[in-house]
A and B are shown apart, each in its own frame.
Chain A
């Protein structure tokens, strides 16, 4: 046998070895997939875009810093239109076909709650970025939430009104959905403790933009503080109309107000509005400052709380995979449960139910921008539900 035929004989073997080595290399280099369900069309598309942008920025930051254990992070994104019908199918697809390591919901409560059950059944960790319904984390031990449940933030609102602002005649203007109702419930639960009397409560639907009747009645109620729940697209017109009618009570909002678009809509009427939220604009934290600056650079749009929540959820997932040293779902779940991370929304950890533990940021609108007003860090007041 000549050298040539020896070579010929070994060539396929060598080729096979090389190929398998290559594929092994490719295995370790293949990106870690994070599945995202997010409303990119339909009524929730504005929040969806913000949340997804936040998530994209997180991936960008992580990959630029070398990825997770040398592997790149990759988002697999599907539009769920904030609909449970879509999100269940998407969850199944992300788990079975895309084989994602972790799921992140950048969607609303209805869609998130429905998908949570699918992730729990498949034992794949699922992080809800900003959906508020208490039942989401009750789906099981693989489901976590990186934002406040409504009641916690509502309780912080009561402390803000009674303890920090020393106001005592409150009117509630409540958005009639799970978000508004759970916030109002938290506020009402603690209002008495802080000496706040609730003079009246009005509810409105998410589609309302004209608040003439409520404003007329609130004017007659003469409150000294208004606890108004809603999103920027309801809150902007509401605040404008309250101020135009000459209602000068302090207006307290929450994270739904937390976007520059709110200030664009309400203009000068937004001045002095105080909100409880997750994003401290003047925060000294490097992570938060980087997030605010890089978000504006990357998307040419001022950032908001929803974007910070999407960002935080991806950072939590990446951090957990890194600490676990594997994408094995049980190990990642345990790592998420043990999270202690400085994220753009503050330093966070989780309780036994998978609910977030962190401070509430209080922001005030001053000269057309959100600025720090106070931080509420009363652990007992802010304790999320454990069951």
Chain B
């Protein structure tokens, strides 16, 4: 039973990582920018979810507001921070992104205080026991949300017009532009969807921890980088699998390697191992 419980915890953790990392890999795929500040939007998602839930009493409303608002903030960040420096070398955008991430953490601290905020009445905390295994309702909700969002993203990119244009732009920006794809629109869409997914993850983590603190994004900021490298930069399917693998590796690692390795180092140990064998990541694109 311990084994099953650990597997479920691993998948849960992996699902959360996937929601964060997919936005990051989308941005990289399209613009070749390592968008470190993405984790700051994940934190913002948590803050908005808690504040709206505490004001209105509805977590679903909090979650939706959070995803929508953070999606818009993502677009604004693209417009104000990245667009003006797109023609500069990649490290310029990376430095801007790291700076923005640090600034966001301090802005949250100034606005919301250093202690973090909690739900006034935290919903979905009951435990569901099933044949010796257990999950909290909020954890089940997190897995459902992750599945739903990732499935929706897949359908969207495969079957909608703009989704197909998006994939085309990722593959060959110049060619798709000459076929009449509005590249700028695709970029905004990209930031909106990626940021909204991170906000979804932030909201669910806020629910599971009942705590949103200014530095909530610090671990995801670098762990998501490890995941997208492992998944083959820019590859959504690879990122999803890498996130689940890391989630499970960490879960078992915490119990069986915890005496030797910090949980956060497990992801990187795994990353180093994979890169030694396959330098392009598990699922590099063509």
A264, B54: Cα distance in complex, Å? 13
Partner of B251, one of A212, A233, A237, A266: A212
For residue A66, give the distance in angstroms from its CB to the closest CB of chain B: 33
Which residues in B have their C-beta under 8 angstroms from that of A244? 125-127, 134, 136
In the bound complex, do residue A207 and residue B218 qualify as a contact, i.e. CB atoms below 8 Å apart? yes
List residues 51-91 of chain B with CB under 8 A from any CB of chain A.
Answer: none
CB neighbours (8 Å) of B218 from chain A are 43, 207
Stretch at the interface among B1-9, B36-44, B238-246: B1-9
- Cα distance A219–B1 when bound, in Å? 11
Residues of chain B from 80 to 107 with CB closer than 8 A to chain A in the complex: 106
| Interface residue B13 (Cβ < 8 Å from any Cβ of A) | yes
A110 to B268, CA, bound (A): 25
Q: Is A45 in contact with chain B by the CB < 8 A criterion?
A: yes
Q: Per a CB cutoff under 8 Å, which of A49, A213, A236 touches B254?
A: A213
The digit string for B7-19, where 1 denotes a CB below 8 A from any CB of A, is 0111011000000
User: Which A residues touch B114, using CB under 8 A?
Assistant: 45-46, 48-49
Whether A233 contacts B2 by the Cβ 8 Å rule is no
Q: Are B210 and A204 closer than 8 Å at their CB atoms? A: no
- Whether the pair A207, B264 counts as a contact (CB closer than 8 A) is yes
Is the C-beta of B129 less than 8 angstroms from some C-beta in chain A? yes
Q: Is the CB of A203 within 8 A of B211?
A: no
Given contacts A216-B2, A236-B211, contact A209 B205 (CB under 8 A): yes
Which of B118, B219, B251, B254 meets A264, CB within 8 Å? Answer: B118
Partner of A214, one of B134, B214, B254, B262: B254
Residues from chain B with Cβ under 8 Å of A214 in the complex: 254-255
Known: A212-B12, A236-B211. A46 touches B115 (CB 8 A): yes
* Distance to closest chain A CB from B196 (angstroms): 22
A264 to B119, CA, bound (A): 8
Q: How large is the interface on B (under 10, 10 to 19, 20 to 34, 35 or more residues)?
A: 35 or more
Contact with A along B201-219 (1 / 0, CB 8 A): 0000100111101111011
- Bound form: Cα–Cα A210–B214 in Å: 17
Contact call A237/B255, Cβ cutoff below 8 A:
no
Any chain B CB within 8 A of the CB of A240?
yes
Bound CA span A264–B209, Å: 11
Task: Please judge, given known A-B contacts A41-B106, A205-B262, whether A237 and B211 are in contact too, CB under 8 Å.
Answer: yes
A149 to chain B, nearest CB (A): 24
Partner of A233 from B8, B127, B213 at Cβ < 8 Å: B213
Tell yes or no: A76 within 8 A of B by CB: no
Known contacts A41-B106, A267-B122; A212 and B127 CB within 8 A of each other: no
Judging by beta carbons under 8 Å apart, are B122 and A210 in contact?
no
Are A246 and B134 within 8 A (Cβ)?
Answer: yes
Q: Does B252 contact A (CB under 8 A)?
A: yes
**Nearest CB of B to A219, in Å:** 8
Per-residue CB contact flags for chain B residues 111-127 toward chain A (1 = under 8 Å, else 0) read: 00111101000100111
In the complex, number of A-B residue pairs with CB atoms less than 8 Å apart? 111
Q: A198 at the A/B interface (Cβ < 8 Å)? A: no
B238 to chain A, nearest CB (A): 24
Q: Chain B nearest CB: distance from A46 CB in Å?
A: 4
Closest residue of chain B to A304, judged by CB? B115
Is A240 in contact with B262, judged by CB distance below 8 angstroms? no
Q: Would you call B279 an interface residue if the criterion is a C-beta within 8 Å of the partner chain's C-beta atoms?
A: no
Q: How far is the CB of B251 from chain A (nearest CB, A)?
A: 4
A245 interface residue per 8 A CB criterion: yes
Distance of A45 Cα from B259 Cα, bound (Å): 29
**In the complex, what's the smallest C-beta–C-beta distance from A218 to chain B, in angstroms?**
10
- CB-based contact A43/B215 at 8 Å: yes
User: Are A240 and B125 in contact, CB atoms less than 8 angstroms apart?
Assistant: yes
B13 touches A210 (CB 8 A): yes
Does B109 belong to the interface (CB within 8 Å)? yes
B263 contacts partner chain A, Cβ-Cβ < 8 Å: yes
Q: Are B211 and A213 in contact (CB under 8 A)?
A: no
Q: With the chains together, A202 CA to B8 CA distance in Å?
A: 19
**Inter-chain contacts of A245 with B (CB < 8 A):** 127, 134
Within 8 A of B (CB), among A299-328: 301
Distance in Å: Cβ of A91 to nearest Cβ of chain B: 23
Contacts of B252 in A (CB 8 A): 213
- Docked Cα-Cα span, A266 to B129, in Å, equals 20
**Contact: B2 with A217, CB < 8 Å?**
yes
Known interface pairs A209-B211, A244-B125, A265-B210. Does A41 touch B6 (Cβ–Cβ under 8 Å)? no
Instruction: Kindly list chain A residues whose C-beta atoms are within 8 Å of the C-beta of B259.
Output: 203
| Other-chain contact of A213, B113, B118, B251 (Cβ < 8 Å) | B251
Q: CA–CA, A115 to B268, complex, Å? A: 33
- Name the distance in Å between A249's Cβ and chain B's nearest Cβ: 16
Q: Does A261 contact B (CB under 8 A)?
A: yes
A237 to B6, Cβ gap below 8 A? Answer: no
* Residue A208 CB within 8 A of the other chain: yes
Q: Tell yes or no: A347 within 8 A of B by CB.
A: no
- A176 beta carbon closer than 8 Å to chain B: yes
Selected contact of B219 from candidates A46, A207, A220, A246, CB within 8 Å: A207
The 5 closest A-B pairs by CB, nearest first: A212-B9, A45-B114, A216-B5, A46-B114, A213-B254
9 further A-B contacts with Cβ under 8 Å, apart from A209-B209, A244-B134, are A46-B115, A210-B205, A212-B9, A213-B6, A214-B255, A237-B209, A245-B127, A246-B129, A265-B210
